[in-house]
Every structure is written in C-alpha cells, then in structure tokens.
Structure 1
C-alpha cells in the first residue's frame, strides 16, 4: 500500500524528530473539549491562524481590555516525575485568570502554548483537557493555542506550558486600590495548597524528606502526589458574584512572592496591611514545609500563599456580608486583617502579627 502524499512530504521532518501527523491528530483529539469552553463571542474554531472573538459590550461604558500571561513553573517537574498531567492545565489558566480578576476584569478568552521535544499525543491531550477545564472554571473560552515539537530542546517526557488570558472591565469599574482607606477589612480566600509558586524550594524539601509520590502526605489522607499537584483555585466565579452587589476596594492574587510582595501592589501609598496570623486554617502542606525545610513563618509567608490564595479589601460595613456570601458559595474565607495608616519610611507595607506579638 502506497503512503499518502502528505506522509511522503513529511517523511524528512519526521526523521528529524517532528511528527506532523501526531500534531494533526492532537488537534482532532482536542476539538470537542475546546468547543465545550466556547462562550458567546467566539467566532472561530481551533486550527486557524488566529482566534476570533467579538466581545458583547452591550451598554458597557468605555470597556477596557485587561491581559496577563504566565506559566506553571517547576511544578511541572513533579507532573513529569509522577506521570500526572491532568491538573497542570488548570494551574496554567488560573495563574493568568486570577491576575486579571484582581483589576475587576471578566475573563473572556485564553490561549495556551505547549512545547515539547517529542510529542506524546496522549499526554498533550490530557494537559489541554486540564486547560479546557480551567477555562470552564474561569468562565472564558479556550480560543486557540500552539503546540510546538522541538527535538533536543527538552528532556524526554518533559514539556513546558505558557498561556495568556484576556478579559474586559468597564473603565469606571477598574479595581486599582485607590479607594482603600484606613479601617477597611482584609478578607482571605482559601487556597487549595501550594498553588503554582515556590516549587523550586518545595522540590528541594521533598527530595530531602525522602517521601515518594505514592506515600500518604503527613496530616492528610491524600497522597503526596495529590497534595502537591492540587490545582490552583480559580476565583473568578465567586469574586465576580461578590462584585455584582458589593463594592470591593482592592484585590490581591497571592502568587509569587507570597504576602509581603503581592499585597502592597494593590494598596495606595498612604496605607499598610496588618495581617493577624492564625486567623485562618493552615493546610498541613505548609506546616510540613516549615518543619522539613527548617523555615520560619515569616520566611514561609515571603515565599508561599500559606493557605490564602486571594485577598479582598472591603469596607468594614461590608465584611460580614462578603463572608456570608462566600460561605453560601462553599468558599472558605476569613477576616484576616485590617488596613492601617502607613507611618515611618522604614516600615513594611505588610505587617504580619504573629501570636504573642502586638501590632506596632
């Protein structure tokens, strides 16, 4: 039986390590899952040179586009080691969707980039299924993406992920922290665990501990694999529900840099955040990292989210309502601090008050 012309034409490329047919097969595999993420405004299917999206601005006055891009980082190393690829796509969407949510934007669409040395269609399809699931959770469309097969660029069985999310917010509704005032309440929303930051340190501590992916993680009934690869929470649905009825003065995605670097990004110059440590439930993974890594809680909060993945700053008169609404949506949240006046120049913009200490 003679080979089809397309196979003959691609023979030289395949011998160099790039399987065009495999890439085409992947596109066919993921078409249905991508289609499940389509929302009003999507005008194209995957496979074109660009994704088409027509936003419905309705009566929106001065709509503003908000965009963010990110990857998953070295958390992928654990996905490779444990051959578990179904959650990292959710992480990928979460990192960008949560970032644009901070400014009040509704996520509209997402595009992904998957790069590998040799394409494993099953692994790639599993990863992209996670991306599609993340888009569903964020309420946005998976509008397109790119799969790149690059021999010799990656170790066997490894890949890299990147993506970006575009959203929209009315100009008058942009959340920029300018309305934050002394006395406002800081509300922390629970994380699912480490999310997608600090994994270079996590992996170092894990190696030193001797724990394997199939072991039960200390303090839990789950495996080490499930605890450390738990996907990042996407907060779009619950936060946008709050914003429909309650003014939110500022928001923070607690990502790279933990509390000390992320919270000041959402505060005006004249105030600081006073965080009362111990006012929220601490997931066992962070206590384990603290003990195994011989770290201090200030060090932990510099690096990790420590159980708080997202922060809302609201007027004190709205705090109880926000907490009640989040509870009704089965979202764990706590009042974790207050906004105070920023004083001396050498004072930190985030003050974490640990048990036995008093706020200055």
Structure 2
C-alpha cells in the first residue's frame, strides 16, 4: 500500500479550500492599514501616524478547556469570539487599543470543517473593536489531537501613547475599586466545571437548569465579555489608575498584579451578587469558598482602580451604556496583597 500525506491524515486539498473560505471571511477586516496579506508569509500593518510616541502592547491566550464544551455541543461559532475578547481585555488593562490579531488553530482528524465557523467568530469580534485580523495558521495534527477536536490561540498587538500607559504605578491608598460584571464563567475554570457537572453529577449538556433559566450548554458557552467599547473612550475623561482582567487565579491572583508596593486592595465580597452558575458549581461539587474565588471570576470580569471623586460619575456612565458596575472595595496601606472580606484564608 502506497502512503500519502492524505492517508496519514493531512488533506492539503481540503486545507486549501478552507483557506479560500477564510480569506472571504477576513476581507471585511482588511482595512487600509493592512499593506499586503494575500499569500504572504507574514502580515504587513502600517501604524497610524497620529501617534506621537507609540508603545506596542502584545498578548497571547487561548480558550482553554471551554473548547471541550464546544465539542460536546457541536457549537463552534462562539469560541472565536471568546478568544478575541479575552485577548482584547488583556491589553485594554494597559490602555491599549487593539490594532491587529493573528490566530492559530491546530486540528485533529475531520475537524478542518469547523475552521471557517471558528474564524467567522474571530473576524466578527475583531470588527467590533476595529482590530485587523491580519493572518493566522491552521495546522492539521491528526496524531496529536482527537478526531473532531482542535486547539485555538490568539496573538494580539495593540498600541498606546507612552504617556498614557496604565501600569498601576499611580495607585495609592484611598483609591476605590469598581467591579464590572462578567457574562458568566468567561474562559476559566472549565476543567473543574466539567469534573463537577458531568463526571461527578452526571448532567447532560442539554439539561435545562431552573436556577440558571437556561440549559447548561447555553450557560457554559456564554461569550467572554469584551470591555473595550465601554471603557476605552472613558480613559481620556477619567483617571483610571489601574485595571485588572479577572481570569485564571480569580480576583486575588489578578488584582495583586497591578498593586504598587506598600498598598493592598480590600474587596467586599458582599458588594455584588454572585451569579447562580457559580453557586451551582460550588454546591454540587462541595467546593470551598476559597477554592471558588481562586478558580473563577465569581461574577466580576474587570476591576478598575479610580479616584474616590470619580466613582459616582464613572459608575453612572458605564451603567448607561450597558455595563453592570459595583463599588467593590478600596486601596489601603499594606503589604501588596488582596484581602477578600470574610475570606481571609483564601
């Protein structure tokens, strides 16, 4: 028997067909600052000349094992949005505007057909924040990934004027913490979620859960919320001294990253209502509160550090454009740590 690349599991003809489909999907994001793209080995992007002292801010991330839920549900249209929104939030915390993104999709056998669906979500999310989808890579790896499964990663570059970079250096005692609500689990903690809901309890993905008012599939695949459009245009109107995107590690693990020495953040856990999905996971899994707050965002997806005098007006403005905002705590003198009220052991 003669061997071929196709018989080994890599179909170059199908890959070329998928690339042509992707090219059509990404054309709307190919605005004037992309200099060349078609069949190039690299992407070319001309930075806007309006910047006087531009600093590039980059980040990379994936969607984690939330992809397993997409596989189970056979729904691949939202994970691309998750990817972009996570990456955009990660550079937003430094005051950066996203300029371009590249994606990487590694495929198991018979999963190439999902790629145009995934990229459609990526392209749509990029367009919403005026970010160019400048290129990407699709790798067929049939011996590495299970059949009809894939992995997904994004690489984003943004830009900010050097004097407008946000790094937390101006944070001081007396500053206040505003928490912006998450849309749900976002993209963290899914390995534990699957262990509890599917392995331990035996729930099915299509199960309607009354306390969630939806099915598990709908709840677990809610798109990671993007805060860019709400926050970015307020950066020139308010002194936002620091921002923390609440991802893996929870509030404590992420908020501490922006604190200067000799300051601490004190977070009042009674200042917002934790969404029901977290209570469901905790109850069914018999998970301790400290473990929950270490693993999940617990309903707060982004934290802003602002002056006390700006709390009321900024809360009003963000609420008016659709964000749910909570005044969740303050900055005090301390040992560069985050204290969660009534959860000191966390």
TM class by smaller structure: over 0.9
**Structure 2 residue 24 is matched with structure 1 residue 32:** yes
2:121 is paired with a residue of what secondary structure?
helix
Distance 1:349 1:218, change over 3 A: farther
**Structure 2 residue 217 is matched with structure 1 residue 225:** yes
Q: CA deviation at 1:18?
A: 1.1
Q: CA deviation at 1:66?
A: 0.5
2:144 matched residue in structure 1: 153
The question of whether the paired residues in 2 share the 8 Å contact of 1:42 and 1:52 is answered with yes
Superposition pairs for residues 28-177 of structure 1, below 5 Å?
28-58=20-50, 60-177=51-168
Q: Deviations over 1:286-332 (max 9, x none)?
A: 11111111123222111100000111100011111111111111111
Give 1:349's match in structure 2, choosing from 328, 337, 346. Answer: 337
* TM-align CA RMSD: 1.7
2:167 is paired with a residue of what secondary structure?
coil
1:291 matched residue in structure 2: 283
Q: Deviations over 1:245-265 (max 9, x none)?
A: 111100000011001110010
What CA distance in whole angstroms lies between the structure 1 residues aligned with 2:142 and 2:212? Answer: 40
Give 1:308's match in structure 2, choosing from 300, 311, 321. Answer: 300
Distance 1:20 1:99, change over 3 A: same
1:210 matched residue in structure 2: 202
2:5 is paired with a residue of what secondary structure?
helix
Matched residues, number = 341
**Structure 2 residue 184 is matched with structure 1 residue 196:** no
What CA distance in whole angstroms lies between the structure 2 residues aligned with 1:333 and 1:17? Answer: 50
TM-score, length of structure 1 as denominator length: 0.91
Q: Displaced runs of 4+ in structure 1, greater than 4 A?
A: none
TM-score, length of structure 2 as denominator length: 0.94
What CA distance in whole angstroms lies between the structure 1 residues aligned with 2:41 and 2:34? Answer: 15
Distance 1:81 1:338, change over 3 A: same
Give 2:169's match in structure 1, choosing from 171, 178, 194. Answer: 178
1:8 matched residue in structure 2: none
